[in-house]
A and B are shown apart, each in its own frame.
Chain A
Amino acid sequence: MGVGETVVKRAALSLITLWLLSALVFAAGQLLPGDVARAILGPLADPRAVAHLDRELGLDRSLPVQYWDWIVHFASGDMGRSYAYRAPVAPFVLAALWHSLKLGTVAFVLVVPLSIAGGVFAALHAGRPVDRIINLIGLSATVLPEFVTGIVLIMVFGIWLRILPITANWPPGAALTTQIRYLLLPSFPLVLVLFGYLARMARAGTVEALAADYTRTAVLKGLGPHAVLWRHVLRNALLPTITVTATQLGYLMGGLVVVETLFRYPGIGGLIYAAARDRDFPMLEGGVLTVGLIYILAGLIADIAHALLDPRLRLGEAE
């Protein structure tokens, strides 16, 4: 199977996954108890007004029709109207995504080199105390909930040492470097959760590549240790790490809900949290489906990157 075929097959599977996900999100909306129009207008509203609003919102139609209408609009960028703000959902989601992108970028820029370096370093010292220490740090960092690490970090860096701001909201018009400074503390809990996982992947990949035949061949033909490491070991070891990085994007989004709530940051996680709290279902559906869409796209891109980088897949040998 060639790269083209792999990509087409993966894209088709992604579409099916996306469709199922949208049905799931829509179904959750249908579980909401009570009448939406009644909820908007209040218990004292005239029944005729309720019926009118139901018609206006399209809620008097059959469920498949409503679902089809919702998904077609969503595909064209119209995510419906927020109950809480009485305004279209899409601009809120876009603005929130932009904020989360900044926070996520800071986290990824910190965690990717850090965890790859940590993982490779541990692999090169496999079995020694430093390997075990890196493993232990990674393990504990990954399993702790973000609000736990977030609060400990706030206490240490924000309140005790007073070197970092404890909210993520920079003063309006702040320069990029100031923005990054405000985003450091909120990004740390995300970095901690991701570090253990990515470092473990990088370590496993490196250990495997170090033991592989091609590495021995490279050493035996007289290549220097640096050339072996960069040209043979890392290229093979880091492939799985790339794929895992993309799948971690989904967990990152879950972490954002907590971190953005804790640091009162107006990103997509904060938006989903606020929409859930206010029972603003169109906003919640828009935010959740956007998160799912990003995750599925990231997985697809990672698979394509993997197919392009992996010589076995590129040459059409595998599978």
Chain B
Amino acid sequence: MNSSWRKLARSGSFMSGLLIVAFWTLCALAGPRVVPYDPFEDDILNALAAPSLMHWFGTDQLGRDVLSRVIVGARDILLVAPLATALGIALGVILGLVTGYFRGIVDEVIGRLIDALLALPLVIIALLALTAIGPSRLTVIVVIGIVFAPLVARTVRAAVLSERNLDYVAAARLRNEHAAYILFVEILPNVMPPIIVEASVRLGYAIFTVATLSFIGFGIQPPSPDWGLAVAESYGLINGGFWWPVLFNTLAVASLVIGVNLAADGIQAAVNA
């Protein structure tokens, strides 16, 4: 484990990814206290003002300061995406441990269900579910978490399959340990590395999905300064030459997604090495 940490600290892609993610996390936490303007305050007379010394990133169609909104816009996505990932990992780990350890008919049935779920892209499943139960931060978290669960379960299951026949598991079984004890105390610590890799990769997908859902109006709802939402509200204006509200929010999404994936790449390399 120690050598993995050292490898991570020396990994260029992990450190640069971590730096980007840390920057946006700081924005999300301290945002409201450091922004130059109130991100929710309209100033219609000053709408769509080009970037200037007063407003570095210009103002949007309601005259709100784009820089302030981009900084505070990190909040919702950095709340929803990690929570969705955590839910998916928690459910997936339980599902993967149980199916990998017990095999049999439960394993078969869940395997088929996973295939059926995988036959649809995440965005379409989410659209279906969010249309049925209505979009809110909570439903986005639950829907993404539930879709992630079988994907995580598949990875965990594969790892459990190679552990279940090892001596330490047989020893625990001979000691008459409870199945739950064997799964969570004996096997789980030994399958942590692939779970950590999976979690970092899933977080990247979760951010991708939350931003996309917000962009098409089924994710985070107004008046949140969320980036995907802001892009959706203002991309019709670029043809008129008002590029700044769109560009800065787009770059914010892009940097966060790339940051998380760089970090995930570094973690993957450190764990697999």
**Interface of A toward B, CB cutoff 8 Å:** 13, 16-18, 20-21, 24-25, 28-29, 31-33, 139-140, 143-148, 151-152, 154-155, 159, 166, 250-251, 253-255, 257-258, 261-262, 272-273, 275-277, 279, 281, 284, 288, 291-292, 295-296, 299
Contacts and interface: CB of A to CB of B under 8 A. Distances in A.
B131 A147 contact: no
Contacts of A255: 121, 123
B132 to A, nearest CB: 4
A145 B243 CA distance: 19
A25 B117 CA distance: 10
B127 A17 contact: no
A21 B243 CA distance: 42
Given A17-B115, A143-B208, A155-B243, A291 B120 contact: yes
A272 B215 contact: no
Which range holds the interface residue count of chain B?
35 or more
Given A151-B250, A262-B235, A277-B217, 19 more contacts: A13-B112, A17-B116, A18-B116, A20-B115, A33-B133, A143-B204, A144-B258, A145-B215, A147-B215, A151-B246, A155-B243, A250-B118, A254-B122, A254-B123, A276-B218, A279-B131, A284-B127, A291-B121, A295-B119
B116 A272 contact: no
Given A151-B246, A151-B250, A257-B124, A16 B212 contact: no
A23 B109 CA distance: 14
A296 B239 CA distance: 39
A258 B215 contact: yes
B55 to A, nearest CB: 20
Contacts of B208: 143-145
Contacts of B131: 28, 32, 275-276, 279, 281, 284
B18 interface: no
Contacts, number: 133
B238 A272 contact: no
B268 to A, nearest CB: 12
A291 B124 contact: yes
Contacts of B115: 13, 17, 20
Contacts of B124: 253-254, 257, 272, 288, 291
B119 A21 contact: yes
B265 interface: yes
A273 B212 CA distance: 12
B116 A24 contact: yes
A187 B118 CA distance: 23
Contacts of A284: 127-128, 131
B99 interface: no
Given A24-B116, A155-B243, A257-B216, A145 B128 contact: no
B19 interface: no
Given A24-B117, A253-B121, A288-B128, A17 B112 contact: yes
